[in-house]
Amino acid sequence: MSARWVLLVFVLAASLASRTGAGQTTPLPPPAASVAPPEAAAVDAWLGKLTGVDPGGRRGALAAIDASTPAMLPAIAGRLSELKKSANRDAMAALLAAARKGSAEDPREQKPPLSAPFADGFEKVMAAPLPSDAAWRDVVSVLGLSRLLAHIGTTPAVRELAGIYPGFGEIFRIDVERAMKGLGERAVATLIELRRGDNRPLRPWAAKLLEALGKAVPGEAVQTADNQVLADVLRAYGRTKDVDAARVIVSFANSDRVQVRDAAREAVAMLAENGIWQLRESYENLVGKKPPEEWGWERVATELFAAYDRSRLSEVYALMDEGMAAYKGGKLDVMAGAFDRALARAPGFERRRDMVPGYIDFARSIKIADRSRAIATLRKVVRIDPSGPRAREAESELTYLDALELAGRGVVDETAYRRAVELDPSNREAKEALDRIRSGDGTSNALMRHVLASLLALAALACAAVAFVWRRRYAVR
């Protein structure tokens, strides 16, 4: 780069820096949006690298398996569907059998018990790449896509994974079983569906896998700390209309966990008449009397769920009353504690919007002594009632406190103060802070900008001098 260009770059930088004090700074463009979920073309590109001739590309594709996401599922399913139609099963079976055993033995003859340690077919075929062989590419594609599905691990992904076995036959049975066992409890919902599904030959296979996982009976299947897994298991029992699971399903219809409770009630609806006796029994145990004989399962379920809600929320209403009494008595800390416990018990509590005025007053009372808790409280207010009559007031106070947090770290964000005033013109503290910035701090900020401009200009001159000396030495040589 010549001295002329170096000088031009630094002069332009200095000029831009000096102009920032003349008016409002043009905001930087927002960061680029996150990459869109991979589509069919992206999955095909990944498969192209996985089955390609470039060893580096294959290694990169293997490393990318851990980056698979649920958004890829439709593309993966589409690619597997195409392979089921086009792949040469005999050639795939021979290649995979040779990779596993070192011979062309038909894999349909392999019947090891479910507990046996299976050789990983994917690793075997990848260790001996044959990119020019169509059967090798198909085997690698199916097993590679199965790895993506296993990493995603959601119930829809596991359904696709399990579908590889009936879709291709015995060729990939061992690999699918191995993957399902590796998924553990995340495979249970799919296996429950398959155990009573339309594909009769898969029923004993699914039952054996459930036994191997220790999830053969409803009481075992619901033993999980993962709410999503439990919700999927309950819905699976509902879809299959499993009468043996009716008692377990109904018991979760009163769960404190909203996700689980909703799934259990959906499962009850799917069971329909199959769960009537468990519903009637649960109603009698809770209410103390039998439901009328003329009530069908829908009426019993409706009345039972209403009774569950009244019983479950009785404590929540008591906490709400305690909090409101404390608010009226000026005991804001006691009020906040009662409201917090009520929301922890029932996040969707119907009277949660009545908590907003008390929470706002509490946040203001502690914003000096405990600013972090005040910020957390105001964020809770915005979540509780984002479009309510005092939402903008709470958001203004929150924006102001966030700006104070930044100022404490040496960052003065004029835009935040301006936003706080726009949200709530009556926010006196935010207005005063904005006025101080515009009157006093504005001068010091302008001075700093001019100092920066001067430093950049000096740097530009220094670079020009260095370039000039370098050019003279070069000319002498």
Residue-level pLDDT, tens digit, the chain, 477 residues: 443 433 333 333 434 333 444 333 333 444 444 444 556 788 989 999 999 999 999 999 999 999 899 999 999 999 999 999 999 999 999 998 888 875 434 444 444 443 333 347 788 899 889 999 999 999 999 999 999 999 999 999 999 999 999 999 999 999 999 999 999 999 999 999 999 998 998 999 999 999 999 999 999 999 999 999 999 999 999 999 999 999 999 999 999 888 999 999 999 999 999 999 999 999 999 989 999 999 999 999 999 999 998 888 888 999 999 999 999 999 999 999 999 999 988 888 888 999 999 999 999 999 999 999 999 999 999 999 998 899 999 999 999 898 888 888 888 888 888 898 899 898 898 888 888 888 865 444 544 554 455 566 666 666 666 666 666 655 555
pTM value surpassing 0.75: no
pLDDT for 471 equals: 63
Q: DSSP label at 191? A: H
DSSP state of 29: P
In this prediction, residue 447 carries a pLDDT of 43
- From the list 70, 58, 50, the residue with the least C-alpha distance to 150 is 70
- 74-79 long-range contacts, CB within 8 A, separation 24+: 74/40, 75/38, 75/39, 75/40, 75/42, 75/43, 76/43, 76/145, 76/148, 76/149, 76/157, 76/160, 77/160, 78/40, 79/40, 79/43, 79/44, 79/47, 79/141, 79/145
At 418 the pLDDT is: 87
d(CA 24, CA 60): 46
Nearest to 279 by CA among 250, 239, 310: 250
What residues does each domain of the chain span? 51-214, 217-312
Q: Pull the structure tokens for residue 245.
A: 């699971």
Using alpha carbons only, give the angle 266, 267, 272 rounded to the nearest 5 degrees: 100
Are residues 110 and 174 in contact, defined by beta-carbon separation less than 8 angstroms? Answer: yes
b/e sequence 82-105, b meaning 16+ C-beta within 10 Å: ebeeebeeeebbbbbbebbeeeee
Token output for 388: 């309510």
Task: Put residue 101 in one of left, alpha, beta given phi > 0 → left and psi -120 to 50 → alpha.
Answer: alpha
Non-local CB neighbours of 323 within 8 Å, separated by 6+ positions: 334, 335, 336, 337, 338, 339, 342, 355, 358
Q: Which residues of 233-251 are buried (b: 16+ CB within 10 A; e: fewer)?
A: bbbbbbbbbbeebbbbbbe
Nearest to 133 by CA among 92, 164, 85: 92
Q: Looking at residue 374, what is its pLDDT?
A: 92
Coil, helix or strand for 427? coil
DSSP state of 222: T
Given phi > 0 = left and psi -120 to 50 = alpha, else beta, which region is 378? alpha
What 360-364 contacts at long range (C-beta under 8 Å, 24+ apart), as own/partner pairs, is 360/390, 360/393, 360/394, 360/397, 361/327, 361/332, 362/332, 362/333, 362/335, 362/336, 363/394, 363/397, 364/397
- Sorted by sequence, the CB contacts under 8 Å of residue 93 that are 6+ apart come out as 106, 107, 108, 170, 171
How high is the pLDDT of residue 348?
82
What the block records as the tokens of 150 is: 């296993």
Between helices 173-183 and 202-213, what is the axis angle to 10°? Answer: 40
Q: How far apart are CA 328 and CA 59, in angstroms?
A: 66
Residues 173, 206 contacting (CB under 8 angstroms):
no
* In the block, residue with structure tokens 């005033």: 421
Contact 260, 231 (CB under 8 A): yes
Amino acid at 300: V
Integer CA distances (angstroms), 208 to 146, 213, 214, 296, 364, in order:
21, 9, 10, 36, 61
| CATH hierarchy code of domain 217-312 | 1.25.10
Q: How would you classify residue 370: left for phi > 0, otherwise alpha for psi between -120 and 50, otherwise beta?
A: beta
Rounded Cα distance, 433 and 445, in Å = 15
* Residue 368, number of CB atoms within 10 A of its CB: 9
Q: What does the angle CA 413 – CA 417 – CA 422 come to, to the nearest 5 degrees? A: 140
Place of tokens 């079983």: 177
